[in-house]
Amino acid sequence: MYQLYYYPNNASLAPHFLLHHMGLDYQLILVDKQSNSQKSSDYLALNPAGRIPTLIDDDTVIFESPAICIHLCEQHPQHSLIPSLGSKDRAHFFQWLTYLNNTLQAELMVRYYPHRHTNDEHAIPTIIAAQDERIAESLSVINDQLKDRRYLLGEQLSACDFFLFMLSEWSLPAQTSPLQFDHLSAYLTRLSSHPTIKAVCEREEIDLRPFQPSPLSHHVVK
Ligand SMILES: N[C@@H](CCC(=O)N[C@@H](CS)C(=O)NCC(=O)O)C(=O)O
């Protein structure tokens, strides 16, 4: 049985989607972020970075959300959530997963932890505003990719889509919401009714209503 150390709507969400989607046997272990448990000595022994998530697979401990996703996809290739070894699609899988984790997620982390990037309390609103612009730039790149594509890689659902859904949810409060991009918005609306996304979001008490179509709810900018 896999064990996923998680906190609702944190970077554990993408691995949670995959565990559920593949019908795997897994246990969720809550890391109480409210009491900073991710910095406890017990947790640091598993994950020295003190971040959520961590996956236990028998005697193997894995941290970093994309690494966990890749590991699960490779262990269960019959679910086709990663393109096959040697295929060109696989190169694009790594390209997009890296872009999501290394660019969009990194920008979101600065937005949500601005105090870690300045010693000046008064600078925090300007950091958030600057990050919102950078998040919008990244969402625009993704929006362009989704023009004429059902999923990020094309016609085949992959782990990248679950990862992107997680980051899009986090991006909702940004100045330019992902729902303001036409292709991205339509894609997110489609994904929000995917059975895996519905089930896991219900389990983590994540509200999917913002993704439901409502013609007056947002203004499309692109
Ligand atoms: N690069 C890591 C980042 C994980 C991360 O930053 N997780 C956040 C929650 S979304 C966290 O643990 N924050 C608590 C902290 O930084 O103390 C990953 O993708 O797994």
**Section 19-35 average pLDDT:** 97
pLDDT at 43 over 50: yes
- Residues paired with 62 in a beta bridge: 55
Judged by average pLDDT, the poorest of 14-28, 72-86, 164-178, 202-216 is: 202-216
* Residue 203, token pair as written in the block: 């389990």
**Coil/strand/helix, residue 27:** strand
CB 47 near ligand 1, within 6 Å: no
- 128-140 confidence digits (pLDDT tens): 999 999 999 999 9
222 — pLDDT class (breaks 50, 70, 90): very low
CB 157 near ligand 1, within 6 Å: no
pLDDT at 93: 98
Q: How far is the CA of 51 from the centre of ligand 1 (A)?
A: 4
What sign has the CA pseudo-torsion 50, 158, 21, 185? Answer: positive
Burial class (CB in 10 A: 0-12, 13-18, 19+), 154: middle
CB 138 near ligand 1, within 6 Å: no
68 Cα nearest atom in ligand 1: 20
β-strands 26-30, 2-6 pairing: parallel
pTM of the model as a whole: 0.95
pLDDT at 215 over 80: no
CA-nearest residue for atom 16, ligand 1, is: 51
33 Cα nearest atom in ligand 1: 14
- 115-126 confidence digits (pLDDT tens): 999 999 999 999
- Residues paired with 60 in a beta bridge: 57
**Section 95-109 average pLDDT:** 98
Q: Candidates 32, 38, 40, 52: which one to mutate for ligand 1, based on the most atoms within 8 Å of Cβ? A: 52
pLDDT at 89 over 50: yes
